[in-house]
Amino acid sequence: MSVDVKNAEGYKAWLKYDLVTSQENIREISRWCSRIVHLVDTRIVQAAKEELTRAISIMIGEEPQIASETVTSNHIRLATSEQLNVDEFPEIRKINEEGYLIKTVKHEEGSYILLAGKSDKGVLYATFHLLRLIQAEHSLDNLDIVESPRNQIRMINQWDNMDGSVERGYAGESIFYKDDDFIRDYDRIKDYARLLSSVGINAISINNVNVHAVETSLITTFLPDVAKVADVFRTYGITTYLSANYASPMELGDLTTADPLDEGVKAWWKDKVKEVYSYISDFGGFVVKADSEHRPGPFTYGRNHADGSNMLAEALEPFGGIVIWRCFVYNCMQDWRDRSTDRARAAYDHFKPLDGQFHNNVILQIKNGPMDFQVREPVSPLFGAMRDTNQMIEFQVAQEYTGQQRHVCFLIPQWKEILDFDTYAKGQGSTVKSIVDGSMYESKLSGIAAVSNIGNDTNWCGHQLAQANLFGYGRLIWDPNLSNEDIVDEWARATFGNNSAVIENISAMLLSSWQIYESYTAPLGVGWMVNPNHHYGPNVDGYEYSVWGTYHFADWQGIGVDRTVTSGTGYTSQYFEENMKYYESLKTCPDELLLFFHHVPYTHLLKSGETVIQHIYNTHFEGVDQAIALKEKWEALQQAIDEERFHSVNERLEEQIENAKEWRDMINTYFYRKSGIKDKENRVIY
């Protein structure tokens, strides 16, 4: 990796520590941060010391002194609960194993800022939190912060292939692999680990869930390399997982079957897991995609998902490992023209009957919606439906269906809506976030995972503003009660500084961007209207398996998918009663999901007062205008942002405008010709 890349402004992301120009701020930082005392000295605490030293040296131009014993002068003190007087700091009893205290402690014999955790991980997380406060010019004189992560597993799923490509990756090639081998650029992997740890992410799977022949060898030939990567992440409190090929006993061994009930298969996996742990003692376990989109799985042998996952769980259990079993299972070759066939039903239909049959070290990873990371779809009904099964939610930070990091689309508002959604699984207040944090059903395992959006582009994410999704994902899953505004403000200040105009414009751009993207793309809950395979740009009938028709069922009379119990696929029955009734009725179904649940005439009147067809026309014209306004807001900041990042974002915004126009023209033309109904505003539709 060239020095130029690492010194680029975009590369530094939100760990961009700038020289402080205010003399008053320099004096305050110097007063508290010129000395670092560590009362514990693990590798993770060493990483915390290194981060503090790096940041403070840059910000005030002076490297802090390091000591392992208390001093009488002001300092930052790093400690775990073992080094604290619990009576003096009773808050330490309230935090969990990864929680922390940040506290300004004032004594006559010497004052200090305490960064303390139950464990050394807490110390590291407290370190990054303190540095965010300093970046935001927050006063250090009276800090009193007590935090614990709400979610147990806070995971990133890399979809990297060993040939160097990244499936659904929009930011260059892999930072891990190239030409069917490891790159071994541990400096860049370390910087990635720093970014992840700084927002509280504690787990990573380092290869694509679609495990090809070469990647299957990660659990054999390449184990020494996996171990080296795991060692880098371990230093930052991040546990390493691998995506596993279910057919590994056949591809790597001499077996002729991968039947999960076959004794030879069970023995093979037990031996293989033992070998993996001999290299990586704290290996997290396997992420598995099985029996979906042509991936091998237990269905081949007449077995179910509980059979398949439990076999792996038994092999991992002696070592404390877990199986993360993805619920993205459906028949991709089914005939979509048959309106009794509904992909939205698939996950629930496959997994709900198996509730209670999974081992305690199996956790089901469920996509946030029943389809596939669309710009708008309902929450998966599987959340809350399995009372006796560990569950975690899966988001996609990579913008596969939301602009592919060529369009700005800040996804935190979408994820907050999903986490706040009331499933009614145990009555009112049964939110998704209380299911995936394990509190509702007292689950042994729980958490949140997401598909990463990084690659080897200079600024990690292709689009500088797409970094806000990675940052925001980590902050949201640490504390789902954080507001969209607070997350944006934190990221913008850490990334661009504290210029009020910059913060105001970037915040406005990000907070409106999801709605803008939705406006000029998919209306009222209709998804998939993208080009096949690469999923970028408009194609109204463009789903991959287009030989089987479309997802919107538009004809000359109307549009939408009837998923009701009364007359459709019956999908609404998968929700608990309150939500079933809510979506079943045209009177109560929200406009933004209308066409996901109902087939209606183009003249159907929305709650907004518009007809469906007029809504389509209006939003697509308005979306283009709003995309143009995004660029205008950005251009107003040219004098306040460095040239590198300004021009990079400006180019992306220009592309977004042109693409929005293409969406507008193609979608409006399609539905004008389909419906024969003119735009009431008499705008040009070809």
265-307 pLDDT per residue, tens: 999 999 999 999 999 999 999 999 998 766 778 999 999 999 9
The whole-number pLDDT of residue 546 equals 43
For the chain, the average pLDDT equals 95
* Whether pLDDT at 23 is above 90: yes
Strand partners, 366: 393
Q: State the pLDDT at residue 408.
A: 98
DSSP calls for 17-83:
-PPP--HHHHHHHHHHHSEEEES---HHHHHHHHHHHHHHHHHHSSPPEEESS--SS-EEEEEEGGG
**Contacts by 415-418 with C-beta closer than 8 Å and gap 24+?**
415/368, 415/473, 415/476, 416/476, 416/480, 416/484, 418/368, 418/369, 418/379, 418/393
Whether the predicted pLDDT of 252 surpasses 60: yes
Q: How would DSSP label each residue in 436-496?
A: HTSTTTT-SSEEEEEE----SSTTSSSSGGGHHHHHHHHHHHH-TTS-HHHHHHHHHHHHH
Cβ contacts of 643 within 8 Å, gap of 6 or more:
none
- SS3 at position 166: strand
* CA 47/CA 50 separation, integer angstroms: 5
Question: 72-76, 173-177, 360-364: lowest mean pLDDT where?
Answer: 72-76
Rounded distance between C-alpha atoms, residue 97 and residue 101, angstroms: 12
Query: How far is it, in rounded angstroms, from Cα 608 to Cα 162?
Result: 49
pLDDT in the model for residue 1: 43
- How many CB atoms are closer than 10 A to CB 356? 10
pLDDT digits (tens, 9 = 90+) for 309-351: 999 999 999 999 999 999 988 654 454 455 557 889 999 999 9
The pLDDT assigned to 543 comes to 67
Average pLDDT value for residue range 12-26? 95
Average pLDDT over residues 669-680: 96
Q: What is the CA radius of gyration of the chain?
A: 26
Decide if pLDDT at 96 tops 50: yes
Residues catalogued as catalytic: 293, 372, 400
**pLDDT digit string (tens) for 132-169?**
999 999 999 999 999 999 999 999 999 999 999 999 99
pLDDT of res. 549: 45
Task: Output the furthest CA–CA distance in the chain (Å, rounded).
Answer: 82
Average pLDDT over residues 396-400: 98
Predicted local distance difference test score (pLDDT) of residue 70: 85
- pLDDT value of residue 16: 95
pLDDT at 84 over 80: yes
Q: Alpha-carbon distance 681 to 381, whole Å? A: 39
Q: Indicate whether 68 pLDDT > 80.
A: yes
Give the type of residue at 668: N
pLDDT in tens, 604-646: 999 999 999 999 999 999 999 999 999 999 999 999 999 999 9
pLDDT at 294 (0 to 100): 65
Q: Positive or negative, the Cα torsion across 468, 472, 475, 481? A: positive
pLDDT, greater one: 592 or 533: 592
Tokens of 572: 């609404």
d(CA 97, CA 100): 9
Q: In what order do the strands lie in the sheet with 35-38?
A: 65-67, 35-38, 75-80, 112-117, 100-105, 144-147
Distances in Å between the alpha carbon of 331 and those of 24, 163, 354, 427, 624?
A: 63, 28, 19, 33, 36
Closest CA to 400 of 598, 612, 588, 167: 167
CA 318 from centroid of its chain's CA atoms: 30
Summarize pLDDT for 503-530 with one digit per residue, the tens: 999 999 999 999 999 999 989 999 889 9
Q: Measuring CA to CA, which residue among 261, 313, 284 is closest to residue 153?
A: 284
Question: How large is the average pLDDT for residues 164-178?
Answer: 97
Amino acid at site 600? V
